[in-house]
Structure 1
Amino acid sequence: MTTTPTPDDRPSLWRRALRRLRRSLDYRCLHWHRLGEHQQADYLRRLFELLQVDLVIDVGANRGQYADFIRRRVGYRGAMISFEPIPALARELARRAESDPHWTVHATALGARAETRPFNIAQSSPMSSLLTPSTQATSRLADFNTVQQTLDVRVETLDAVLAAAPHCRNIYLKLDVQGYEREVLNGAPASLPRVAAMQAELSVVPLYEGQPHYLDLLGHIESLGYLPSLIPAHNPEHFPLLIDFDCHFVRRERLAELGGLNRA
């Protein structure tokens, strides 16, 4: 016998019908602020499987936001190394990593050479940098990147770290180092052939003294053998001003191997 839905049942039936329709169309309703995150999660799930990624390098780990994203949203369960030079945050990450046997935390920064350098801790910790903050281009973020403390931190090179992991051949590198990306890459000439793909934050508006122009950094990464693969939607918080954006790259050789690019 067919039961006629009551008025109380109808909203639930509509929600179920909409969910079925959404699944059939692979359609999702997302707030604009979450669009870039969703794009990157879907992209990285596919990319990690395609490239058989066996190590994620998280440079500029802060409180572990990217580590959480990789584990929870991307679903990657393999080896991961996070770098965070702010001592309190590095200790917090190390405690969290105790429950994850495939996660290692280094309480250091990365750069072009092994050394000790002054590190500027900003009012908003994700904006802390080895470079000195600047408000010359815009004052919109002055309340966030004002230096609260400067301390000496240890700087390692990616080459030195990856020398201890010679078995990893399909590495994914994430750079969130507030203008210090080029220096990190300069410390990895021997490692880059093993870095199958990477992502970097490119700044349209320079927020630090000596920060490279985003076109210069883009050209430098391409000169190292990488091609842009995805530029996801950015956070429109400062609309219509674009402060920075993420750019994902895949090594040219790997694209050729996968048949997506003619070999030179």
Structure 2
Amino acid sequence: MAQFGDQTLLVTGAAGQFGRIAVEELLARGATRVIAGTRDPDKLAELAARGVTVRKVDFDDAASLASGFAGVDRVLIISTDGIGKRVAQQTAAVAAAKAAGVKHIVYTSAPAARPNADAGLAAEHFWTEVAIAQSGIDFTILRDHMYAENNLMSAANEVASGQIFGLIGDRGTAYVSRADAARTAAGALLTAEGKTVLDVTGPAPVTNAERAALYSELTGKTITSIAITPPELTAGMVAAGLPEGFAQALVAFQVDAVIGYHGAVTDVVEHFSGRKPTSFADFLAENRAALGA
């Protein structure tokens, strides 16, 4: 397996949770020419003090992309939080990478990325993948499955209510921790070659019923999984205050879990990070406080 630790490696979105973990992993594994890209370089003053090159890299600013990608050999493009404008942002970054002569792109995508109208946010990742493939640059597309952390946003409310609402026919999601996914991305930046598309998963799929059982075990309360239809789930999310478009995107993700797209299990985390992925049960135990009990 080739090692590229002596090449110039850029991590975009380095001030975010994922990006910061990836930068730390690169440093821990001996990378010597790391560039941390961010819209706000002041946020990374501590990294700069440790010898990391910090550059302004703003996907909405063409000039910053040109200067940010200059001299870069390999780049980790972390998908932005710009829902609705990701395609424009990320294709601009791919174009900048090509113009700068970047040799390899690692991109954090999503499982079952496809252009279908009912695919929710997956279409934004699909068109970014297309732009990367058409660039002629070697790439590693990492289709990160749902981060385990996403469950913590609703877990306390679900525990308090004693109910988890999900779709009829749920076949499970192989939740992966953000840290595992970020270390995997760093490992790919250091070692990957060629053109590959890979799923980044946890060690096993977890159904809503299994999630409810884990919540019950950790809190001592009875949590029940209630299976409903997509329109019912969408309506419930809107009634709870979510914008309809965002609710539909979240339900589309659960529909994919019913289809089985999120139940795949791979060894990609261990291959690139050198660690076995954290199980969902262990992740919840480590974050028991977030369950509100």
Q: Which category of TM-score, normalised to the shorter sequence, fits these structures?
A: 0.3 to 0.5
Q: By percentage of residues, which structure has more helix?
A: 2
Larger gyration radius, structure 1 or structure 2: 1
> Given the two structures, how large is their TM-score scaled by the length of structure 1?
0.43
> Given the two structures, how large is their TM-score scaled by the length of structure 2?
0.39
